[in-house]
Amino acid sequence: MLRLAAFAVTSALAAAAAGPLPPLPLGRLLATPDRLTIAMTDTGNRHLDREYRLECDPVGGDHPQAEGACARLDQFAREGKDPFAPASQRQICSMQYGGPATARITGTWHGHRVDSTFRRTNGCEISRWDKLEPLLPSGRS
Angle CA 29–81–101, to nearest 5? 105
Taking the domains of the chain in order of start, what are their residue ranges? 32-85+93-141
Element (H, E) at 35: strand 34-41
Stronger pLDDT, 16 or 49, i.e. the higher one: 49
**CB-CB contact of 99 with 140 (8 Å):** no
- Express as a percent the part of the chain with pLDDT over 90: 60
For residue 53, give the 3-state DSSP assignment.
strand
Whether omega for the bond prior to residue 134 falls within 30 degrees of 0, making it cis, is: yes
**pLDDT at res. 1:** 53
State mean pLDDT over 23-33.
53
**pLDDT at res. 39:** 97
How far, in Å, CA of 7 to CA of 11, rounded?
6
pTM to 2 decimal places: 0.74
| 104-121 tens-digit pLDDT | 999 999 999 999 999 999
For residue 42, give the 3-state DSSP assignment.
coil
| 6-19 tens-digit pLDDT | 444 444 544 555 55
Beta pairing partners, 119:
102
State mean pLDDT over 53-74.
95
The pairing of beta strand 102-109 with beta strand 112-119: antiparallel
Query: Is 21's pLDDT higher than 60?
Result: no
Q: Look over the chain and give the mean of its residue pLDDT values, rounded to a whole number.
A: 82
State mean pLDDT over 19-35.
57
**pLDDT at res. 33:** 77
Say if domain 32-85+93-141 classifies as CATH 2.40.50.140: no
Residue 43 CB coordination number (10 Å): 20
How many Cα atoms are found within 13 Å in the side-chain-facing hemisphere of 68? 10
